[in-house]
């Protein structure tokens, strides 16, 4: 691979603790066929990125590696066969890892024009959260107008994206989060009902709001006890979306209960969905970018850090204090 100067990037050289990450001088590469080199303006660390540095994620890169998957920036150069971009274009994009740096090489197919209403910070916080929400609610759960959606961890990145997308679809949203600050943000972004986990059992309130029917679609990035309680307020023919296990625990479903209530348990891995079904993945992206351009979807950046602030951002993510997304400005 050709090298062309150096750049700065965060480096993970041993697994276990994100506090061991360090900023290093790395050798630049030249983009090959179908790739673009992007000068990074902002990147957005997420929960899976933190897990990857701890060796607790399904993808385990070879050491040392640069973490983080999502970025925005300006195209510096394009490899052969790249048809959609020129140097100077403002873009957003994803890589499996490598975005926590001043530059990144990405596959052209995973890079998109920065939607007009977004600045670089909002751009860096868009793709993964909204794609997860779209694949979950629309591609997998076939959410319909006027259905009721229960969204867990609704003040987090994937949660807030799901709230906004469900509202665009004309659904009724019951959003759950912890604490007054998060709950007030959820009211601002248009959730119909906002419940606080601190108030205890939520199933009774959900059943009350839905006049005993339960929620048609349940969006769950938390797992564990939250997942199990959700099954007590799911509508007949409802769909519960397994987005992740932020609680660190996996919920259990009893097959006889699923039979009686006739609900579906649906696993959602947005990136993998696009890899297995490229056409459907591309169609989802087209829809999302259309909604973003028309101002219907707007990422919520709850915290901003300078380039040196990645460890602090991961700390905030670990303590579940982030509202929306944390963004590192390069």
Task: Specify the pLDDT at position 274.
Answer: 87
CA distances from 92 to 73, 74, 112 (A): 6, 9, 5
pLDDT, mean of residues 167-187 = 96
Strands (DSSP E) contained in the chain are 3-11, 22-29, 35-43, 70-78, 90-94, 103-107, 111-113, 148-151, 172-177, 193-196, 215-220, 234-242, 264-267, 301-306, 325-329
Per-residue confidence at 58, pLDDT binned at 50, 70, 90?
confident
Quote the longest CA-to-CA distance of the chain: 64
Q: Are 174 and 197 in contact (CB under 8 A)?
A: no
Percent of the chain with pLDDT over 90: 90
Average pLDDT over residues 129-154: 97
Model pLDDT for residues 184-223, shown as the tens digit of each residue: 999 999 999 999 999 989 999 999 999 999 999 999 999 9
Two domains, one topology: 3-126+299-324 and 129-272: yes
Instruction: For domain 3-126+299-324, give the CATH superfamily.
Output: Medium-chain alcohol dehydrogenases, catalytic domain (3.90.180.10)
Instruction: Please report, for the chain, the start and end positions of each structural domain, with discontinuous segments joined by +.
Output: 3-126+299-324, 129-272
Quick one: pLDDT at residue 248? 86
Residue with tokens 């751009």: 123
- DSSP letter assigned to residue 108: G
Mean pLDDT for the chain overall? 95
Phi then psi for residue 192, to 5 deg, are -75, -40
User: Which residues in 149-166 are b (16+ Cβ under 10 Å) and which e?
Assistant: bbbbbbbbbbbbbbbbbb
**pLDDT reading at 1 higher than 80:** no
d(CA 211, CA 33) in angstroms, rounded, equals 57
* Confidence at 4, pLDDT banded by 50, 70, 90: low
Residue 16, pLDDT above cutoff 90? no
pLDDT tens digit sequence for 82-95: 999 999 999 999 99
Rounded mean pLDDT, 301-312 = 97
Over residues 245-290, the pLDDT tens digits come to 888 899 999 999 999 999 999 999 988 898 899 999 999 999 999 9
Q: Write out the CATH class of domain 129-272.
A: alpha beta
> What integer pLDDT is reported at residue 293 of this predicted model?
95
Summarize the confidence of residues 47-51 as an average pLDDT: 92
Q: Rounded to whole angstroms, how far apart are CA atoms 137 and 143? A: 6
The pLDDT score that the predictor gives to residue 20 is 94
pTM score, whole prediction: 0.92
- Determine the Cα–Cα distance for residues 258 and 237; give it in Å rounded to an integer: 9
Select the more confidently predicted residue: 2 or 135: 135
Residues 6+ apart with CB under 8 A from 49: 67, 68, 69, 97, 100, 314
Given this model, what pLDDT does residue 134 score? 97
- Listed residue (33, 29, 124) closest to 78, CA to CA: 33
């Amino acid at each position: 691979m050709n090298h062309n100067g150096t750049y700065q990037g965060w480096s993970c050289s041993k697994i276990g603790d994100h506090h061991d990450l360090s900023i290093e001088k790395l050798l630049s590469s030249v983009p090959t066929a179908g790739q673009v080199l992007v000068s990074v303006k902002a990147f957005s660390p997420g929960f899976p990125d933190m897990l990857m540095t701890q060796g607790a994620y399904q993808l385990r890169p070879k050491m040392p590696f640069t973490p983080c998957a999502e970025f925005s920036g300006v195209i510096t150069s394009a490899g052969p066969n790249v048809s959609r971009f020129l140097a100077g274009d403002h873009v957003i994009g994803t890589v499996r890892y490598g975005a926590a740096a001043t530059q990144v090489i990405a596959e052209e197919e995973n890079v998109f024009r920065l939607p007009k209403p977004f600045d670089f910070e909002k751009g860096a916080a868009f793709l993964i959260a909204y794609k997860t929400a779209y694949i979950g609610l629309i591609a997998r759960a076939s959410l319909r107008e006027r259905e009721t959606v229960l969204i867990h961890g609704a003040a987090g990145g994937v949660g807030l994206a799901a709230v906004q997308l469900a509202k665009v679809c004309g659904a009724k949203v019951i959003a759950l989060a912890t604490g007054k600050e998060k709950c007030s943000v959820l009211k601002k972004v248009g959730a119909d009902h906002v419940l606080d986990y601190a108030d205890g059992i939520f199933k009774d309130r959900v059943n009350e709001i839905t006049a005993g029917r339960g929620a048609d679609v349940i969006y769950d990035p938390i797992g564990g006890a939250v997942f199990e309680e959700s099954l007590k307020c799911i509508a007949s023919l409802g769909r519960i979306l397994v987005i992740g296990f932020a609680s660190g625990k996996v919920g259990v479903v009893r097959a006889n209960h699923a039979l009686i209530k006739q609900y579906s348990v649906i696993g959602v891995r947005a990136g993998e969905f696009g890899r297995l079904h490229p056409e459907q993945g591309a169609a989802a992206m087209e829809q999302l970018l259309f909604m973003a351009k028309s101002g219907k979807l707007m990422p919520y950046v709850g915290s901003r850090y300078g380039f040196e602030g990645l460890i602090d951002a991961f700390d905030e993510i670990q303590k579940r204090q982030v509202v929306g997304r944390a963004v590192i400005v390069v």
